[in-house]
Amino acid sequence: MEFHVSLIDRKDLSGEIYRQLRRAILEGRIRPGESVPPSRELARRLSVARSTVTVAYDRLAGEGFLSSRVGAGTFVNEHFAPSSDNTKRREADGPLQPRHIWDSIPLVRAPATPAQFDLRSGRPDVLLFPHDRWRRLVSRQLRREIGREGVFGDPPGHRGLREAIARHIAVARGVEASLNDVTVVSGTQQALDVVARTLLEPGDQVAVEDPGYWPIKWLFESLGVRVNGVPVDEQGLIVEALPRHAKLIFVTPSHQHPLGVSMSLSRRRALLTWAEQNHCAIVEDDYDSEFRYESRPIEPLKTLDKSGRVVYVGSFSKTMLPTLRMGFLVTPPSISAAIRKAKQVADWHSSLPLQMALARFIDDGGFARHIRKMRSIYRVRHSLVVSGLNKQFADHLQLIPSNVGLHIAAFAHHASVDEINAIAHRASEAGVEVHTLSRFSVQMPPKAGLVLGYGAIPAERIEEGLRRLRLCFIT
């Protein structure tokens, strides 16, 4: 295809190629499955260095827009098919147009088919969820709701659920929370939305781990907040690399997403000191540490925080179901009242029947039982994946030690980002779905590696899944 890039009077050439190509994909001018020009050819056409083009391509690959197949070229990924919304809007030029920022935010679609060997990160085993019990709890609460004639609930959430959450995190994580500081939200994404509404203004800067949890980048950018990626090493986020003017830092200290390292105690202390000296808020995302297989947990930032700067966020997406959209915040008392108002402004309150059913599930011990059961199932899967990687992939991958959560990450010894993308593509054709590490790059050049989830794959499929993946490394 003939892709036209205009670089007249532009300074950031690589950034410009990246932006124009991304827009072309989002608007459907380059379609899923189509190839983009080889970097050498595009560089020649534009009279720029080849590295100017490859940096742009790497960034797009890191965000999941492109993937390369060795010997075949670089292609637009299927899951970034232009949404019908994008296409319709362009077709019907009406008087109302969204702000430009929405052109650069892709609509992520739910994957269409379950994978034969699902090694994607971040997925719990939804088939082992106690659906019958849950259905009974929800229908009982719905009947009660009809009795109450459907009046609205309180913005911070159902009192019984907030009490149950406070007890759960006191036992599971040692976090002491007063009822007034707990707010129920629709998952981590809304937790961040409510915090951003409460603390940030357009033009403010935030710091996020890089590689990191990219969906929140779109959230901040949609609010006009500038996002800075901060590198991570084996002890977690590198505090010295934080931008001086950051007003908020988003971290996953218990289990860095996606690398899997736990932030060391000294790093946690350094981060808290930095935040204090720079008048900055910290959001601690503790998304999956209920599943810990060895070693004692390090104390959450929230319990180490003496100055009242840490917002603690928890989610029921891993312990229950991601589709429930349930999570919670524990805020410092100085912002709790504003947080409730922000939740009210956002959506008044989360679904009351679901909150009441969940409160009941926690109170009667069903939740703790489910976590215990899943922990022992995930422990087996974790150890099968770790030993399989150590035995079969030692020549290709360097495992990053981790014994928490539902995924494990590994750096490639020799393969480039493009080659790893090609391997993931071949794996997909062989029925094995994995995530590449480059997918989680926020701003920095993507790293070559894989992130392997074991939440959704039954133990008896792991060996065959890894065997097929191993074959994809041999070209």
Ligand X SMILES: Cc1ncc(COP(=O)(O)O)c(C=O)c1O
Q: Can residue 312 be called a binding residue for ligand X (CB under 6 A)?
A: no
Cα–Cα distance, 351 to 347 (Å, whole number): 10
Q: Which of 189, 350, 402, 436 is close enough to bind ligand X by CB under 6 A?
A: 189
What is 255-283 written as a DSSP string? S-TTT-PPPPHHHHHHHHHHHHHTT-EEE
Is 305 an interacting residue with respect to ligand X (CB under 6 A)? no
Per CB under 6 A, the list member of 75, 134, 250, 287 interacting with ligand X is 287
Q: Which is nearer to ligand X, 189 or 198 (CB)?
A: 189
- Of residues 119-178, which lie at the interface with ligand X (CB under 6 A)? 122
Question: Judged by CB under 6 A, which stretch of 83-91, 107-115, 183-191, 343-351 contacts ligand X?
Answer: 183-191
**Which residues on adjacent β-strands are paired with residue 285?**
313
Q: How many CB atoms lie within 10 A of CB 208?
A: 25
Number of residues that bind ligand X (CB under 6 A): 13
Comparing CB distances to ligand X, the nearer of 322 and 458 is: 322
Q: Are 454 and 382 in contact (CB under 8 A)?
A: yes
Nearer to ligand X, 57 or 378 (CB): 378
How many CB atoms sit inside 10 A of residue 152's CB? Answer: 9
Q: Which stretch binds ligand X (CB under 6 A): 167-175, 182-190, 444-452, 465-473?
A: 182-190
Provide the β-strand partners of residue 245: none
Query: Which residues in 212-231 contact ligand X (CB under 6 A)?
Result: 213
Q: Which parts of 313-372 interact with ligand X (CB under 6 A)?
A: 315, 317, 322, 327
Rg of the Cα atoms in the chain = 23
Q: Which of 187, 236, 300, 388 binds ligand X (CB under 6 A)?
A: 187
28 contributes a contact to ligand X by CB under 6 A: no
Residues 6+ away with beta carbon under 8 Å from 206: 200, 220, 225, 226, 227, 228, 246, 247, 248, 249, 250
- Cβ atoms 448, 415 nearer than 8 A: yes
CB of 171 to ligand X, least distance (A): 20
Mark 229-258 with x for binding to ligand X (rule: CB under 6 A) and - for no binding: -----------------------x----x-
From 16, 58, 181, 285, residue interacting with ligand X (rule: CB under 6 A): 285
Q: Based on the number of CB atoms within 10 Å of its own CB, is 201 exposed (0-12), middle (13-18) or buried (19 or more)?
A: exposed
Minimum gap (Å) between residue 338 Cβ and ligand X: 21
Shortest distance in whole angstroms from residue 290 CB to ligand X: 13
Q: Report the alpha-carbon distance of residue 390 to residue 388 in Å, rounded.
A: 5
Structure tokens at 284: 């601690």
Q: Tell me if 289 contacts ligand X by CB under 6 A.
A: no
Question: Which residues of this chain interact with ligand X, rule CB under 6 A?
Answer: 122, 187-189, 213, 252, 257, 285, 287, 315, 317, 322, 327
